[in-house]
Amino acid sequence: METKYLQFNNEDLALAGELIRQGQLVAFPTETVYGLGANAWDEQAVKSTYLAKGRPSDNPLIVHIWDKSQIYDIAREVSSDAQKIIDALMPASITIVLPKKDTISDVITAGLDTVAIRMPKSKQARDFLRYAQVPVTAPSANLSGRPSPTTWQRVQEDMDGRISAILCGDMCDVGIESTVLDLSHGTPKILRPGVVTPETLELVLEKPVEIVTNPKSKVNSPGVRYKHYAPKVPMVLDLTDDHDKLCAYYDQKVAEGYNPVLWCNHPFRYGKRNATAMGIDTRDVARGLYENLRYLETRYDFIIASFCYDPKSMYGDEIAIGILDRLKRAAGNNII
C-alpha cells in the first residue's frame, strides 16, 4: 500500500478524517508520541492496528477523544474520582481507565471490562480527532517493541507502506507516553507513569494514588508486561552516576571490541570517550528520550545509559519516575 503524507490544512485533515471513517489507519501527532489511529466503532479497522504494529492482541488500546462529552459514549460509569480528573486535568497527557460500555469492542480492550480514554492536549491531535468525527483508537505508531516515534519521520521509518496515511505534524513536546490511571475500581492506580505526576493526581483527587510498576504482576495494564522501547543494539542502565565505575565499564566494552556510548547527565566528564547528554532537566530528558534511542543505535553498537534520580538535583522531580520506567524497559532491566 502507498502511504499518503498529509499536512495540517483543511483539505488534508478532511481526507484524514474520511480515511478513518472508511476503516483505514492514519498516524497522527499528539503531545506525547505519535499515535496510529483507527475508527473505534469499526472492529475490522481496530484489528488491523494490531497487524500493522505486530502487536500482541492481548494488549488493549486507548480510545482518543476531542470532546469530554464523548467519555459518556464510551464509559459505563464515571466515578466521582474520574469526574475530578476529567474536570481538573483534561485535556492533558493522561489516560483514564474506566468501566466500559457494551458498545466498546473486546478487540479494543483485549477482553477486559474496562476501557482506556485519553483527550490529548495537542491542538494538532484534537484537530485531527474532530475531523475524524468518531472516537479513535491509537497505540503509539511504532512497530511493537521499538522506541515510540516522536516525529513523523520516525513513523515513516516503521510504518511506510503499512498504513494509509501519516499526518506530518510537529515534533512531540512531551516525548513519553501518557500517564495511565486506573479509576475503574478501588484505590486509583498509576499503571504507567508519565508527565502527569502522582503529586498532581493526589492534589486533584485529595487521596493517595498507588503506583503499580512491577512488570511481572498481573495488573490491569497488560502492555507493561512486554519488552518495550528496545534499541537495536545492547543497552545497559546505571543508576549511580559513579564516574569511575562508568569509565571502567566503558573501557571494558571497548576492550571487547564495541564502539560504546555513555548517555548521561554530564558527558563532558568523560574526556575522549563517546558521551552524549540526556537532557538538562526531566522535561528535556523525556522529550528527547526515544529520539535519542533511535539516533544512538545508528551511531554506536552499545549504549550505556546513566540516569541518577536525586531528589536534590535537576533530575529530582516525579517525571523521573516515568523516565526511569522507560529506561529500564529499553535496557531490558539490565542494570549495572
The contact set with Mg ion (CB under 5 A) reads 140
In the range 266-295, which residues lie near ligand TXA by CB under 6 A?
none
Given the C-alpha cell 479497522, which residue does it identify? 45
296 binds, among ligand TXA, Mg ion, none (CB under 5 to 8 A by kind): none
* C-alpha to C-alpha distance for 154 and 297, rounded to whole angstroms: 13
d(CA 159, CA 25): 10
How far, rounded to the nearest angstrom, does the alpha carbon of residue 302 sit from its chain's CA centroid? 23
Beta bridge partners of residue 100, listed in sequence order: 75
Residue nearest to ligand TXA (CB): 223
Strands (E) across 119-169 are located at 136-137, 165-167
Q: Which of 33, 89, 132, 166 binds ligand TXA (CB under 6 A)?
A: 33
The H-or-E segment that residue 283 falls in is helix 282-299
d(CA 220, CA 190): 10
Which residue in the set 220, 265, 292, 306 belongs to the binding site for ligand TXA (CB under 6 A)? 220
190, burial (CB in 10 Å: exposed 0-12, middle 13-18, buried 19+):
buried
Cα separation, 121 vs 90, in Å, equals 8
Binding mask 40-79 toward ligand TXA (x if CB under 6 A, else -) reads: -------------------xxxx-----------------
Q: Rounded to an integer, what distance in angstroms lies between the CA atom of residue 61 and that of residue 138?
A: 6
Taking CB under 6 A as the rule, which mask of x and - marks residues 180-219 in contact with ligand TXA? x----------xx---------------------------
Task: Give the single-character DSSP code of 12.
Answer: H
Q: Which of 6, 15, 25, 35 binds ligand TXA (CB under 6 A)?
A: 35
As separate numbers, helices (DSSP H) first and strands (DSSP E) second, the chain gives: 11, 15
- Collapsing DSSP states into helix, strand and coil, what is residue 150? coil
- Gap between the Cα atoms of 20 and 136, Å rounded: 8
115 binds, among Mg ion, ligand TXA, none (CB under 5 to 8 A by kind): ligand TXA
Rounded Cα gap, residues 63 and 104, in angstroms = 10
Which string of x and - marks every residue 128-167 that binds ligand TXA (by CB under 6 A)?
A: ----------xxx---------------------------
Q: Which listed residue (222, 267, 288, 332) binds ligand TXA by CB under 6 A? A: 222
59 binds, among ligand TXA, Mg ion, none (CB under 5 to 8 A by kind): ligand TXA
**Shortest distance in whole angstroms from residue 177 CB to ligand TXA:** 4
What is the DSSP pairing of strand 94-99 with strand 179-182? parallel
Residues 191, 211: Cα–Cα separation, whole Å: 7
Contact pick of 12, 81, 177, 325 for ligand TXA (by CB under 6 A): 177
Closest separation in Å from C-beta 167 to ligand TXA: 12
- Applying CB under 6 A, the span of 19-27, 108-116, 273-281, 301-309 interacting with ligand TXA comes to 108-116
Residue 3 or 140 having the CB closest to Mg ion: 140
Radius of gyration of the chain (CA): 20
Query: Please, what is the minimum distance in Å from the beta carbon of residue 79 to ligand TXA?
Result: 15
Q: Which is nearer to ligand TXA, 288 or 316 (CB)?
A: 288
CB atoms within 10 A of CB 270: 17
Q: Which is nearer to ligand TXA, 238 or 291 (CB)?
A: 291
* Cβ at position 113, least distance to ligand TXA in Å: 8
List 24, 39, 95, 274, residue binding ligand TXA (CB under 6 A): 95
Sequence length of the chain is 336
Binding footprint of ligand TXA on the chain (CB under 6 A): 30, 32-33, 35, 59-62, 95, 97, 109, 112, 114-116, 118, 138-140, 177-178, 180, 191-192, 220-224
